[in-house]
Amino acid sequence: MAMATAPAADAPPSLPTRSSDLCDQLGSAAQLCEAAWQSYGGRASASGRIQTLRCHEDAGLLRQTLETAGGGRLLVVDAGASLRVAVLGDRMARIALDNGWAGLLVYGAVRDTEALASMELAVFALGRTPLRGTGNGGGALGLALQLGGAQLQPGDYLVMDPDGVVVAPQA
């Protein structure tokens, strides 16, 4: 089954929606976010402006964020590379879809992967686990992140697809 590609959200007209094309266009200005990303969502790729969030084994703030209007953005979640518990599952992915988020890049684990694969949402993560994280609301929203050698700021343009994850800073 072919996976669909999410349309770019708020993409500047001059920036491509494929990671390889973005790298070709930006050259050394393109930031490759190097990690062992795996695609779990029903969309194989997505591109658009980002919002950032940091939480460690706690999905409370992530849920609160997904309950806000996504406006076609991508949410980049620094979950501390933890594969012990998941910070995203099918219920929160459904909330993301219902509120207009185009996708999530989770530097950590997800769960309910069969359900995620059936949703029209791009979800990339480091791994999966059945254990759910807490929901206490710890973490921070809208801060600069450093993931896989890339600097990510709210408002940066990001492309994630089967070839990789690339960031165009404040393009």
Q: What is the pLDDT of residues 5-48, one digit of tens each?
A: 444 455 556 888 999 999 999 999 999 999 999 999 999 999 99
CATH number of the domain within which 109 lies:
3.50.30.40
Q: CA 160 to CA 48: how far, in whole Å? A: 9
Question: pLDDT tens, 133-160?
Answer: 988 888 999 999 999 999 999 999 999 9
Q: Per-residue pLDDT averaged across 104-130, rounded?
A: 98
Tokens 């890049």, residue? 105
Q: Tell me, yes or no, whether 31 lies in a domain.
A: yes
Mean pLDDT value across the chain: 92
The answer to whether residue 5 is domain-embedded is no
C-alpha–C-alpha distance, residues 108 and 156, integer Å: 21
Looking at the domain assignment, is residue 3 inside a domain? no
Q: How many domains does the chain have?
A: 1
pLDDT, average across residues 85-106: 98
Q: Is the dihedral of CA 52, 81, 160, 149 positive or negative?
A: positive
Question: 44 lies in a domain?
Answer: yes
> Is 11 within a domain?
no
Domain range for 88:
17-168
Res. 62: pLDDT tops 90 = yes
Residue 10 lies in a domain: no
- Rounded to two decimals, the pTM is 0.91
d(CA 118, CA 98): 15
